Structure 1
Amino acid sequence: MNTPMQPRERSSYSAIVDRPAMKLPDGARLIVWSIVNLEVWDIAKPMARQVIPAPTGAALLPDVPNWSWHEYGMRVGVWRLFDLYKTRHITPTLSLNARVCEDYPRVAQQAKDAGWEFMGHAYEQGPIHKEPDQEAMIKRSLDVIENFTGERPVGWLGPGLTQTLDTPDHLAAAGIRYIGDWVYDDEPTRIRTANGPLVMLPYTVELNDIPMMMVQHHESDHFKKRAIDQFDRLYQESSDRPKILSLAVHPYISGQPFRIKYLEQLYDYLSEHEGVVHWTGQQILKWYNDQTAEMQGA
């Protein structure tokens, strides 16, 4: 068995200032990549995260309070997100556990009808490291999503951004063309795998409501403040080269009544600026591939 490549073997160091600047069409200068994450938490297993710790300080099963906190997102919170993106004419990327199509077909159908891009996010929520057969899990995930939507996903995000050293090889073999697990750049990059290249899109853990709200415990308006600060700087820099602003949300967090207005206000702020486009991961992938092919041809 071949030894899996280390990350630096997959992607050599590259300073952004040493690369030729790409161009966006029609005078655009900044891409907003919105990612909605939908998960399935199995009541028989420890919850992916907790909003309230057990009274004894030890995780207990079944963890009903934290399971039902997540369930609120699927029953109520996600519909606030559907409304937000519909009224603002934005098509996000949907990072979903494939099991959402089976356990929450009403939600998955709404996303399909709205034209959202479906991106693979494992079969159910849990670290990749605990998967006994990654290749089978990846295939099962993509098969379930394809059977539901009629289209096989080309993007992937590991649950919790988890992956082992050989995960990129398995994903490329399964037909995945882009992933978001390495948050190491402002621009798309290519990484090497044993089965051809993968494009790494600039996903985010900084403008992500899990670490911001559930780990760092910021006030509800902080997502808006930090995202605007990020946008302002990227927009300034985009006068020289295109930039990508990624926003990652979960319905049981950002879909809460006391948080949703700040997300709405953020998108309204972004709409006040010229040259801002809202693209899915597939659109970003096509643009990047076309741009790099054009540069190589030149």
Structure 2
Amino acid sequence: MSAITEDYFIYENRGPGTDHDRYDHRSLRSVPHFTWPGDKRLLIWASVHLEFFPMDMPSAPVKPIGGMDRPYPSVWDFSSRDYGNRVGIYRLMEVLDKHGVRATAAMNSEAAARHPHLMSEILARDWEIAAAGVDMGRLHHAQLSKELEETLVGESFARLRGLSGQAVTGWHSPGHSQSAMTPDIVAAAGGKYIFDWINDDLPYGFRTTAGELTQLPLSYDLSDHKILALQNMPIGDYEYQLSAAFDVLSAESAQRGGRILSLSLTPWIIGQPGRIDALDRLLTRFLAEDGIAAATGEEIRQAWLSVGPKG
């Protein structure tokens, strides 16, 4: 066995808290005080995940978030997720309509093609479409070739842009998956922001080989998927956690500057009849306060570039 040479320990991107050159290390407390446009201090970002789970989903190299738990053909798994796109989504839309919230629909392109009624309802509400890959069976990971990943990203953007007529500037990899090349490929395909990384409460610049993206803070810890489906906690705990997060972020926004509360919503989870009223109560409370507003992902990106501190 050969000895490790000295150059093994030399890494040009080594730095505080990062060890890469994708973005600069930043502590949230070091962000200068600022307010969002319209003198708003806290933005509510509702991202609705519209997914298609193939019945014969692969389990390797990893099973996606929400993937099938039972052997093929898992009718139970498939139909429970299909419930979201056929039933739960309408309850979710009614609640968001009630509170005047325009959402970001993070959509698999296969879901858009298979459920044209969903696209019609989204466009009627002037929601924003963000690309979320092809389907939940095709994740982005290191074992994909660059050519295949370029095909998946390109297909997702092209199909969603064609069906919606929107620019589709946002990207969320299915199941929070990513390879080392995903951001570069997304930027090259015309994406302007991503929301796969869960390491901040504010946006930041994310470098790629095709220019800089904006990374937006989508919280997985506060998602209905983690709290209600993965951790199997009661709806009261979900309501408590979202309400507690709002209290903290609202106080921080008053004392230290603008903040974002991410509402990551899944129709087959929060759209159940025993859960949807919790979201109604939360939005009633959140939007009753002064200085609070709802915004889409692209609106947040543009606001951050116009008023957000760059330090």
TM-score normalised over the length of structure 2: 0.87
Residue 7 of structure 1 deviates from its aligned partner by 7.0
Q: Does the CA contact (< 8 Å) of 1:142 and 1:152 recur in 2?
A: no
Is the contact made by 1:158 and 1:181 (CA closer than 8 Å) also made in structure 2?
A: yes
Amino acid of the structure 2 residue aligned with 1:262: A
Q: Deviations over 1:143-187 (max 9, x none)?
A: 111111112310011111110111111111111110011111111
Summarize the Cα distance change of 1:50–1:192 in structure 2 as closer, same or farther, 3 Å threshold: closer
Could you report, residue by residue, the CA deviation over 1:98-151 in whole angstroms, capped at 9, with x for unpaired residues?
A: 112210111121111111100010011132126551111111111111111112
Q: What is residue 268 of structure 1 aligned with on the other side?
A: 284
Pick from 36, 42, 45 the counterpart of residue 33 of structure 1.
Answer: 45
User: Can you give the 5+ residue segments of structure 1 that lack an aligned partner in the other structure?
Assistant: 54-58
Instruction: Give runs of aligned pairs for residues 54-203 of structure 1, distance below 5 A.
Output: 59-126=70-137, 127-129=139-141, 131-132=144-145, 133-203=148-218
Aligned equivalents of 2:19, 2:51: Cα separation in 1: 27
1:226 aligned residue? 241
Q: Which residue of 2 aligns with 1:56?
A: none
Amino acid at match of 2:303: W
State the distance in 2 between where 1:174 and 1:50 align. 27
TM-score, normalised by the number of residues in structure 1: 0.90
Q: Distance between the aligned counterparts of 1:87 and 1:7, measured in 2? A: 45
* TM-fit CA distance, 1:18: 2.2
Cα distance in 1 between the residues matched to 2:37 and 2:65:
41
Residue 82 to residue 204, structure 1, CA distance change in 2 (3 Å): same
CA distance in 2, matches of 1:173, 1:7: 24
Name the residue aligned to 2:258: 242
> Would you say the 8 A contact 2:68–2:78 is kept in 1?
no
1:11 match = 23
CA contact (8 A) 1:38 1:250 kept: yes
Unaligned runs of 5+ in 2: 1-12
Residues 100, 108 of structure 1: 8 Å contact kept: no
Alpha-carbon distance in 2 for matches of 1:92, 1:244: 14
Share of identical aligned residues, percent?
A: 28
Cα contact 2:57–2:67 (8 A) shared by 1 = no
1:254 is aligned, of 267, 270, 289, to 270
